[in-house]
Amino acid sequence: MHAREIRKGIHVIASVHWERRLFDSLIPLPDGTSYNAYLVRGSKATALLDSTDPVLRNDLLEALQDVRHVEYIVSQHSEQDHSGTIPDLLDRYPEAKLLCSKKAEDLLTTHLGVAADRIQVVEDGESISLGGKTLQFVYTPWVHWPETMCTYVPEDRCLFSCDFFGSHLATTDLYVTDQARVYEAAKRYYAEIMMPFRAIIQKNLDKIADCPFDIIAPSHGPVYDDPDFILDAYRDWVSPAIKNEVVLPYISMHGSTGRMVKHLIDALAREGVTVHAFDLAVTDIGKLAIALVDAATLIVGTPTVHVGPHPAIYYAAHLANLLRPKLKYAAIVGSYGWSSKAIEQIAGLIPNLKVEVLGTVLHKGVPNANIYAELDELAAAVAKAHNDDESVLTG
């Protein structure tokens, strides 16, 4: 897309990837995405912050066709969706220096083949003047790679944050116009890549609070001209508080596990617990990740396949283990034909989740009244654990 001005001398060039539906061959993108580069022009020098995914390199190169000189290219994050076109830009602008953090130097040379003599490492807190505009670099590691940094331009009170606060959203909106839509897209992104680094994200939030900004300009999705909206959301997501919610990924082959899950959902709802249930045969795994951000309890529902859990449950349990949500409680329910080790195997898949197991209900064949009573007891135990736990917001 053409360059659009967000402050005098500062333009965003958004490469909008309308048709992309999967990121890193892992993360569903139901609403596409965009890759934002930012052109910052001072009186003495011009800088380009980030680039675009190589698939859309021509979009960026065309938008820059009238920009004759770029003195600095800033790589805030080495992943290909932001740095993959940097080699093309270094060819286009042979006078340009590539600015990056110390840790990014290695990643940019090994992953993208950037020549070491084009790189100029900037330290945390270092500033470079463009003439009337200053680039101040703020290291913000682990959002979600170790080398990531933000760039602050104090003259314009703009914070350029790359993935941090980003939302996977293909849109022509320059600024956030639909907060609910951006909230979900940003939460999806946080859940899928940043949630495991919650403690460091909190430190990064504290760190950027030293920069008085009016605008957050991320490298995915629209620009925030009301930064409190996304700052409040992030503070909530990283806070120790959890919600009176159960995430219930399940799958059923012949109906028995499905009946148990349906009964349990109803029993939990009667106990006043909110349930986010996901039939893994059809679910968007990103929605599951979003639900994991706030929930107090994970309950897995599985049939037995060759003694163990269904393979879809392996995937979901492994994903939850990788994402390290705030969960404090867990339970397993399911069915089997003749024998099962599903409970032991699922427990072995989630060592990162420091959860208290509130119960297991595993049944041979079609569920009966006794099993439904056990599920009612499990629902009551979940509600009690939530009510007794001060970190669970039950109001």
User: Which one, 23 or 237, has the nearer CB to ligand FEO?
Assistant: 23
Specify which residues 72 forms β-bridges with: 47, 97
Instruction: Report in angstroms how near the CB of residue 167 gets to ligand FEO at its nearest.
Output: 11
- Binding map of ligand FEO across residues 308-347, x = CB under 6 A, - = no contact: ----------------------------------------
Instruction: Answer yes or no whether residue 82 interacts with ligand FEO by CB under 6 A.
Output: yes
Of residues 163, 192, 271, 294, which one binds ligand FEO by CB under 6 A?
A: 163
Give residue 307's region: left, alpha or beta (phi > 0; psi -120 to 50): left
Nearer to ligand FEO, 81 or 374 (CB): 81
* Bridge-based pairing state of the strands 134-139 and 149-153: antiparallel
Comparing CB distances to ligand FEO, the nearer of 11 and 144 is: 144
DSSP H or E run through 319: helix 311-323
Q: Residue number with the shortest CB distance to ligand FEO? A: 79
Of 289 and 296, the one with the shorter C-beta distance to ligand FEO is: 289
Picking from 98, 238, 241, 234, the residue whose alpha carbon sits closest to that of residue 166 is: 234
For residue 154, what are the β-bridge partners?
Answer: none
Least distance to ligand FEO, CB of residue 23, Å: 8
Query: Binding residue for ligand FEO (CB under 6 A) from 20, 220, 243, 326?
Result: 220
Burial class from Cβ neighbours inside 10 Å (0-12, 13-18, 19+) for residue 54 reads middle
CB of 144 to ligand FEO, least distance (A): 6
Closest distance of CB 139 from ligand FEO, Å: 15
- Residue 77 or residue 310: which is nearer to ligand FEO going by CB? 77
Nearer to ligand FEO, 137 or 372 (CB): 137
Q: Which of residues 50-79 bind ligand FEO (CB under 6 A)?
A: 77, 79
> Which C-beta is closer to ligand FEO: that of 72 or that of 142?
142
Note whether 34 and 15 are within 8 A (CB).
yes
- Do residues 119 and 86 make contact, with C-beta atoms less than 8 angstroms apart? no
> Residue 81 Cβ, how far from ligand FEO at the closest point, in Å?
4
Are 192 and 22 a contacting pair, CB within 8 Å?
no
The answer to whether 213 and 262 have CB atoms below 8 angstroms apart is: no
Q: Report residue 227 CA to chain centroid gap.
A: 18
**Residues 133-152 within binding reach of ligand FEO (CB under 6 A):** 144
Binding mask 177-216 for ligand FEO (x = CB under 6 A): ----------------------------------------
Side-chain half-sphere of 125: how many Cα atoms within 13 Å? 2
The candidate with the shortest Cα–Cα distance to 378, out of 293, 267, 273, is: 267
Q: From the CB of 128, what's the least distance to ligand FEO, in Å?
A: 23
Q: HEC profile for 33-100?
A: EEEEEEEEECCCCEEEECCCCHHHHHHHHHHCCCCCCCCEEECCCCCHHHHCCHHHHHHHCCCCEEEE
In the bound complex, what is the minimum distance in angstroms from residue 145's beta carbon to ligand FEO? 6
β partners of residue 330: 298, 357
Grouping H, G, I as helix, E, B as strand and the rest as coil, residue 298 is strand
| Nearest CB to ligand FEO, comparing residues 21 and 270 | 21
List 5's β-bridge partners, or say none.
11
- Give the residue with the Cβ less far from ligand FEO, 176 or 275: 176
- CB of residue 6 to ligand FEO, shortest distance in Å: 19
Cβ proximity to ligand FEO, 79 vs 294, nearer residue: 79
**Which positions touch ligand FEO (CB under 6 A)?**
77, 79, 81-82, 144, 163, 220
